[in-house]
Amino acid sequence: MSDRLSTILAFASAGLLIATAGAFTALGASTGSSTPKLNVKLKNGTALEQQKLAQIERLAQQYDLSKYTLTRDLIIEEGAVAHSYPVLTLNGRFLNDDDLALSQYVHEQGHWVLMQHHRPDMPYLYRELKNLVPELPIRPPQGDGEERSSYFHLAVIMLEWHAMEELVGPERARRVLEWKKHDHYTAIYAAVLEHRAEVEKILQRYAIHF
């Protein structure tokens, strides 16, 4: 049996839909996991993208991600900046740290919470978050490069924190945020860590949650 066929059969047994640099392809039946079947496309089919797919498949079996999966369509693209829209895209980072990989997944799904359920609230949410942190730096790596989306990231990161606490516990969840505070969106993660109670109250007012 070829290595490629062995890899395909392994993914098929996990109940994922995968594709390599092409259309989505159905592979196998779903597993006993409560995580919904994910439609995963590999952008270029590289070895790293296949490793990331294997990690996501394993995490989807280990954790019930149904609550945190608003979109089931994913792309894995080596070298890409992870983003949520128009198709949720993960990169090849964090292969050696499942907690960080899991946090990337729920972070990008958190954007879909706002996009799908809270578009009318966005102007008011932006105003409240800006009043809370008036001088939030927005230039990378402190912010995401754009003012409004940097402020919306305060809400998304709070959703990420809640999700990670539920999935892996408070101690490991906080370790993830503390690590990211020194990696990317550094000012945004620091602001959420400093103003957790206030950000939570804002989210509660708009019923923003997974």
What is the distance between the alpha carbons of residues 209 and 185, in angstroms, rounded to a whole number?
21
Tell me the CA distances in angstroms from 34 to 21, 23, 119, one per residue in order.
28, 25, 28
**Which of 39, 73, 96 is at the close of a domain?**
96
Tell me what pLDDT residue 26 has. 32
- The count of domains in the chain is 2
Q: Which amino acid is at 89?
A: T
Are residues 109 and 197 located together in one domain of the fold? Answer: yes
Three-state DSSP at 40 gives strand
Q: Domain of residue 20: give its range.
A: 1-96
User: Any residues with CB less than 8 A from the CB of 152 and at least 6 apart, and which?
Assistant: 114, 122, 125, 126, 129
Tell me what pLDDT residue 120 has. 97
Are residues 116 and 187 located together in one domain of the fold? Answer: yes
Are residues 4 and 92 located together in one domain of the fold? Answer: yes
Name all contacts of 140-148 with Cβ < 8 Å and 24+ positions apart.
Answer: 140/184, 141/183, 141/184, 141/185, 141/186, 142/185, 142/186, 142/187, 142/188, 143/185, 143/187, 143/188, 144/185, 144/188
Are residues 116 and 168 located together in one domain of the fold? Answer: yes
Tell me what pLDDT residue 25 has. 33
Tell me what pLDDT residue 159 has. 98
Are residues 146 and 199 located together in one domain of the fold? Answer: yes
Are residues 160 and 86 located together in one domain of the fold? Answer: no
Are residues 137 and 92 located together in one domain of the fold? Answer: no
pTM of the shown model: 0.85
Are residues 41 and 75 located together in one domain of the fold? Answer: yes
Tell me what pLDDT residue 17 has. 52
Q: Which residues of the chain have pLDDT under 70?
A: 1-33
Are residues 117 and 188 located together in one domain of the fold? Answer: yes
**Which of 96, 131, 157 is at the close of a domain?**
96
Tell me what pLDDT residue 34 has. 85
Tell me what pLDDT residue 50 has. 98
Are residues 20 and 53 located together in one domain of the fold? Answer: yes
